[in-house]
Amino acid sequence: ARSLPVTTVVSGIDSREVLRQNLDIVRRFTPLTAQAMAGLRNRVAAYAADGRFELFKSSRAYDGRIGREQHGLRF
């Protein structure tokens, strides 16, 4: 996720030690290359295509009113 452009990152910090660990991770971080990102996207494309791992986005149980209307579900 750090290889993607972000505006804000929320990181849990409950002690100075955790703060130090988080800062160390950020300082040593090297983003993925464009080629590595493309490879990752290709490897997970089949799993990401149908939303089976993101039921909160569009499923009978969680979809909001607009999404339910678009999918022909009662609300």
Read off the pLDDT of residues 11-46 as tens digits, 9 standing for 90 and up: 889 999 999 999 999 899 999 999 999 999 999 998
Identity of residue 69: E
The answer to whether 71 touches 63, Cβ cutoff 8 Å, is: yes
Residue 8 lies in a domain: no
Q: How many domains does the chain have?
A: 1
Residue 47 lies in a domain: yes
Residues spanned by the domain of 25: 16-70
Residue 41 lies in a domain: yes
Residue 53 lies in a domain: yes
Residue 75 lies in a domain: no
pTM: 0.54
Residue 10 CA, chain-centre distance (Å), reads: 13
The answer to whether 3 touches 37, Cβ cutoff 8 Å, is: yes
The answer to whether 16 touches 24, Cβ cutoff 8 Å, is: no
Q: Does residue 38 or residue 50 have the better pLDDT?
A: 38
Residue 7 lies in a domain: no
Q: Per-residue pLDDT for 51 more than 90?
A: no
Residue 11 lies in a domain: no
